[in-house]
Structures are given as structure tokens and as C-alpha cells.
């Protein structure tokens, strides 16, 4: 059956985007990326309608009041991220599977909503210190944002047991191939 939901969650910096992009580039799995909406500003190189739908605070609030989201979270103070109902249906109505890169609470909620139609995969860092180092090396966030993300990570890691599968992202190629086989198994089931 097509139109399944693949949820990838983890604290920021654990490698979700890297793993998802590697699998999308390989193109072996029939799945499309769910573009989330957010009110955070774009990072260098990010594009509206590709990485996110970048919205103003007012636009985001309007979507909330129109009940347009499957789920949304205030992931960081004042920073909202949400999965639009229209985005999921755009992809699944065409019979494609959809892959979501969403925060840990969002991941738990979407799995609860879609049940057997969804698989939830938690990406864990080898350690919180390694996570900090990756965020520093990524060099996309100011120091206070990195501190905020690391501080939240330990709390988020405590949600790992609520996910269907946990993959530790130590060796990147190993993590990619584990996620690849989990998704292929789920889609074939
Ligand atoms: P997320 O999407 O979860 O926030 P990213 O995919 O942006 O995380 O990864 C954060 C940073 O860590 C990136 O610079 C990425 O290149 C790097 N990275 C990802 N996986 C590994 C790994 N296994 N070993 C070393 N660096 C990694
Ligand atoms: P970033 O600012 O690094 O792109 O993303 C920050 C966090 O927001 C990440 O954990 C990412 O997975 C999460 N996120 C992105 N889109 C959504 C979404 O639609 N819903 C929820 N709940 N979280 C999201």
C-alpha cells in the first residue's frame, strides 16, 4: 500500500536532514519530503517551498485558526513549526509515501494520529557532546541557539522509547543504511 507516513525525529543536529537528503538523492524509495511551515527566518541557502514554507507570525497564526495543520509545535520560544494538512494530502493523494522531518513531540503525535499507516524513527546522537560539536561545525546557528538546542536534547532523547525504531547516528553511512532498510521493510509490509 502506498501513501504511508515516515516520521524522522531527533534533537536538532542529530543528522535528520543529512540522512533524509541522502535517501531522497538515491531515489530508490518512492517517497517525497513533507515541507513544513515555520515562522523562523531562512538560513543561508534555504528556499521557500523547498526547505520550508517560510511564514510571517501572522500567516502562521492564520493557518492555526483555519485548522490547517495536522500538528504544530512551538519548538523553540517564539519559533513555530507545523505540518500542513494540504502538504500530506498533496503527496499521499498521488499515491506517494511521505517523509517528515519533525521534532520529537510532533513525531509522537503524528504516529499516534496515523497508527499503522505510519512508522516513527528516532535518530539518536552518540552523545550530547558529539551533538554540540556537530552543531558548532554546521555553523548555521548563533551560539545561543546552539546552547538552546543542546539544552533541549537530553529531554528529547528521553522520548526515544516512544518511537517504533531508534537508529544511532555515529557512523553516517551505517545510519543511512539502517534507516534505508527500516523504511523499505515498512513500505513493503
Ligand atoms: P538535523 O537535521 O537533525 O538538525 P543535520 O543533518 O543538519 O541535523 O546534521 C547536523 C550536522 O552534523 C551537519 O553539519 C552534518 O553534516 C553533521 N553530521 C550528520 N551526521 C553526522 C555523522 N554521523 N558524523 C559526523 N557529522 C555528522
Ligand atoms: P530547524 O530550525 O533546525 O530547521 O528545525 C528545528 C526543529 O523543528 C527540528 O527538530 C525539526 O525536526 C523541527 N520541525 C521541522 N518541521 C516541523 C514540523 O512540521 N512540526 C514539528 N513539530 N517540528 C518540526
Question: Phi and psi of 124, rounded to 5°?
Answer: -110, 140
User: What tens digit of pLDDT does each residue of 92-117 get?
Assistant: 999 999 999 999 999 999 999 999 99
> To test the ligand 2 pocket, which listed residue (84, 86, 103) has its Cβ within 8 A of the most ligand atoms?
103
pLDDT of 134 above 60? yes
Q: How high is the pLDDT of residue 2?
A: 62
Q: How high is the pLDDT of residue 65?
A: 98
Q: Which atom of ligand 1 is nearest to the CA of 139?
A: 14
Answer whether 130 contacts ligand 1 (Cβ < 6 A): no
Q: How high is the pLDDT of residue 1?
A: 46
> To test the ligand 2 pocket, which listed residue (101, 104, 108, 157) has its Cβ within 8 A of the most ligand atoms?
101
* Farthest-apart Cα atoms in the chain, separation: 45
User: What tens digit of pLDDT does each residue of 160-186 get?
Assistant: 999 999 999 999 999 999 999 999 999
The answer, as to whether pTM is greater than 0.85, is: yes
Q: How high is the pLDDT of residue 76?
A: 87
Q: Residue 133 C-alpha to ligand 1 middle, in angstroms?
A: 10
Quick one: which of 100, 120, 98, 110 has its CA closest to 31? 98
Q: How high is the pLDDT of residue 180?
A: 98
> To test the ligand 1 pocket, which listed residue (8, 9, 18) has its Cβ within 8 A of the most ligand atoms?
18
Q: How high is the pLDDT of residue 12?
A: 86
User: What tens digit of pLDDT does each residue of 28-76 get?
Assistant: 999 999 999 999 999 999 999 999 999 999 999 999 999 999 999 999 8
CB 98 within 8 A of CB 24: no
Q: Residue 50 C-alpha to ligand 2 middle, in angstroms?
A: 14
* Direct distance between the N- and C-terminal alpha carbons of the chain, in angstroms, rounded to an integer: 8
CA angle 32, 181, 179 (to 5 degrees): 65
Q: Which atom of ligand 1 is nearest to the CA of 169?
A: 23
Amino acid at each position: 500500500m502506498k501513501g504511508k507516513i515516515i516520521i524522522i525525529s531527533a534533537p536538532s543536529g542529530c543528522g535528520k536532514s543529512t540522512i533524509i537528503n541522502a535517501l531522497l538523492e538515491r531515489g530508490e524509495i518512492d517517497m517525497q519530503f513533507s515541507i513544513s511551515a515555520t515562522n523562523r527566518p531562512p538560513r543561508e541557502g534555504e528556499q521557500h517551498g523547498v526547505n520550508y514554507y517560510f511564514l510571517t507570525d501572522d500567516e502562521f497564526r492564520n493557518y492555526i485558526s483555519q485548522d490547517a495543520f495536522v500538528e504544530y509545535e512551538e519548538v523553540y520560544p517564539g519559533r513555530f513549526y507545523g505540518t500542513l494538512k494540504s502538504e500530506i494530502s498533496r503527496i499521499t493523494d498521488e499515491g506517494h509515501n511521505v517523509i517528515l522531518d519533525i521534532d520529537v513531540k510532533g513525531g509522537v503525535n503524528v504516529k499516534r494520529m496515523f497508527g499503522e499507516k505510519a512508522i516513527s524513527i528516532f535518530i539518536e546522537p552518540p552523545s550530547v557532546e558529539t551533538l554540540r560539536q556537530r552543531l558548532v561545525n554546521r555553523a548555521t546557528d548563533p551560539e545561543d541557539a546552539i546552547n538552546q538546542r543542546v539544552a533541549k536534547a537530553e529531554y528529547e532523547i528521553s522520548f526515544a522509547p516512544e518511537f517504533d525504531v531508534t537508529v544511532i547516528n555515529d557512523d553516517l553511512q551505517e545510519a543511512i543504511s539502517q534507516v534505508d532498510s527500516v523504511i523499505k521493510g515498512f513500505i513493503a509490509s
